[in-house]
Chain A
Amino acid sequence: MSAPVRILNIASNTFREAVRDRVLYNLIIFAVLMSGASILVGQISIDIERLVVINLGLTAVSLFGMVIAIFIGIGLVSKEMEKRTLYTVLSRPVRRWEFIVGKFFGLAGTLAVNTFCMALGVFVSLLYVSRHFQKQDGWVLVALYFIILQFLIITALTLFFSSFSSPLLSAVFAFSLFVIGSFSEDLRGFAGITHGVTRWVATGLAYLVPNFSALNVITSVAHANAVPGAVILYNSAYALIYATMAICGAVLVFERRNLK
C-alpha cells in the first residue's frame, strides 16, 4: 500500500469517527437555527434583513466551525493514545507523518461537509428574505470559501499543539491564536511604530501569527462588494502555505515524541 492510500485510509477513518460525534450535529443544528433566527432579527430592525442573514449566518458558520475544528482537533492524537489504537496503527507500515497528514485531511473533510450543511441554512434564509437569489449573492460563496481556509489553518494549528500538549492546553493555545490572529493587522501596525530590536521582534511575531482578519470578508460581501480575484488567489496560497507550515511543525514534533 502506498503512502497516499494509507493517508486516504486514515483520513476516511477520521471523517467517519468525527461524523459519529453527536456534539457535532448539535453545533451544526445550532448554527442553522441561528441563520434562521436572523430572519427574526431582521424583522425588528429597519431595512437590514438581507444584511443580518449574511452577517449572522456567516458569523455562525465561522464561529461554530472554529469550535468544531478546535474541539475535534484536540482529540485527534490524544484519543488515539488513550484508546491505545495509535500503537495498533503505527505497528502497521504507517509512518508517523502519514498519521498526522491523514488526520488533518480527515478533519478538513469533516469541516468542509459541516460548512456545506451550515451554508445551506444561510442560503435558505437568504432565499426567504430576498425571494430570489441575486448575482451578488455569489460573493457569499467566496466568504464561505475563506471561512473554510480559516478552518484549514486552525485545524493544522490544533493538530500541531495536540502533537505535544494536553487536549485542554491545545484548545487554549488554538483559541488564543485565533484571537491574536484576528488582531494580526494591528500587530503589524504596532510593529511599524516601534524601533530597534523591539521592531524586529514585533514584526516577526506579527508575521508568524496567522492572519485571520484577511480571511474575514463577511461584512464586505454583506454589502454586495466584490472580492478581487487577486485577494482570492493570495488568500488561498497563504492559507495553504500556513496550514502546511503548521502540519510540518506537527510532524516534526510527533516524529520525535516518545510514545511509550
Chain B
Amino acid sequence: MKASRQVTVVVSLLLVGCVATSVLLLRRLDQLRTGATLEEVLYISSPKALKKMSLGYDGLLADIYWTRAVQYFGSKHHEGAQDFALLAPLLEITTTLDPHLLVAYEYGSNFLAPPPPSGGGMPERAIDLEEFGIRHNPNEWRLYYNEGFIRYMELKDYAGAAAVFARGARVPNAHPFLAILAGNMAEHAGDQQMARMMWSTTYQSSKDNNVRANAAAHLRALQVEDAVTELEALAARYRQQTGRYPASFSELQAAGLLPGTPIDPLGHGYKLMPGGRVEVRVPDDLPFIRKGTPAGYVPPASPKFLPAD
C-alpha cells in the first residue's frame, strides 16, 4: 500500500472514530445536564434589552423565543411537571419582541392558566399576557374571548369575565357569541350549560386541531358528568321504588326508568357499581371528568387527547 493511501485510510478511520466518540460524549453530557439548555436561555431576562440587541430583527427573535416557549411547555407537560417557572418570562419576552404575534397570546395563556400538570397554574399571569395583547391588538376579539375564558374557568371571576366579553363584543367583526356570553354570564355563571357554551365556542371558532381536541375533550367530560349525575339519580329513584339499588342497567330499563343501554360519548357502556355508583369504562380516554371515575383512579400526568372530530 502506498504511503499516501495508508494516511488516507488511517485518517478516515480516525475521523469516523472521533465522530462516534463525540456523539457518545454529547449523549452522556445531555444525560448529566437535563434541562440545562433551557435554564440557561434566560441569562438575558429583560425583554426590552433583548429587543434592542436584536438590531431590528425582533420578529425572528420572537419566533425563536415562541418556539422555545412551546418546547419548554411541551417537555415539562410531557414529564408531568408541577413547576413551569420559565414559561411566563419566555412568553413575556416573545410578546415584547413581537407584540403582534397573536398565536403567543392564544396558546400562551392556555399554557399558563390551567393548574399543573395541564398548565403552569398562573391564571393571573395569563390575564396579564392577554391584557398586554389587547393593548397592542385592540381589534382582535379572540384575545378578549381568551381572557374572559380564563377568568371564567380558572378564577371563577364571573363579573370580570362578563366585562371582558362585553368589551370584546364591541370590537369590529367580533364573533357574535361574545355578546351572548356577556349577557348570559350574569344569569348562568358557574353552571354546566355556561361551561358547555364556552367550550362549544372554542371548538367552533378555532381552526387548530390541538385546541379543538382540547375543547372536544372538555365537552365530552361535561357530557359524561351530566350522564353520570342522571344515571345515579335514576339508580336512587329505583332504590326508593324497590328498596335496593339496581344490579344492572337492564333492571332500570325493565322498571321503565331508562329507555336503552347508556353509552358514553366514545361509545363505551357505563358500569353500574354496587351502591348505585356509575363509572366510565375507559377513564384515560375521557380526561377532565370529575364524576364517574373508578375509586382510587389516578389520571395520567399528561391528559390523553383524542382527535377532535
Contact = CB atoms under 8 A, between A and B. Distances in A.
Contacts of B71: 44
A52 B208 CA distance: 18
Contacts of B55: 179, 182
Given A59-B57, A219-B98, A48 B52 contact: no
A55 B63 contact: yes
Contacts of B58: 219
A182 B60 contact: no
A218 B66 contact: no
Interface in A38-64: 41, 44-48, 51-52, 54-56, 59, 62-63
Contacts of B262: none
A59 B103 CA distance: 21
What is the size category of the interface that chain A forms with chain B? 20 to 34
Nearest to B68: A45
Secondary structure at the B interface, as helix, strand, loop or mixed, is helix
Contact of B103 (A41, A44, A48, A225): A48
Contacts of A219: 58-59, 62, 98, 100
A222 B59 contact: yes
A186 interface: yes
B215 to A, nearest CB: 16
B67 A41 contact: yes
A55 B67 CA distance: 13
B57 A218 contact: yes
Determine which residue in A44, A47, A183 has the highest number of CB atoms from chain B within 10 A of its CB, and name it: A47
A59 B60 contact: yes
Contact of B63 (A48, A183, A212): A48
B63 A51 contact: yes
Contacts of B259: none
Contacts of A62: 57
B208 to A, nearest CB: 7
B258 interface: no
Interface in B48-86: 52, 55-60, 62-64, 66-67, 70-71
A223 B100 contact: yes
A56 B210 CA distance: 25
A148 B63 CA distance: 24
A45 B52 contact: no
A46 B70 contact: yes
A9 interface: no
A55 B66 contact: no
Nearest to A212: B56
A173 to B, nearest CB: 17
B207 to A, nearest CB: 9
B52 A46 contact: no
A39 B64 CA distance: 13
Contacts of B234: none
Interface of A: 41, 44-48, 51-52, 54-56, 59, 62-63, 179, 182-183, 186, 212-213, 216, 218-219, 222-223, 225
Give 10 closest A-B pairs by Cβ, nearest first: A219-B59, A216-B56, A45-B67, A55-B60, A182-B55, A55-B59, A47-B103, A59-B60, A59-B57, A52-B63
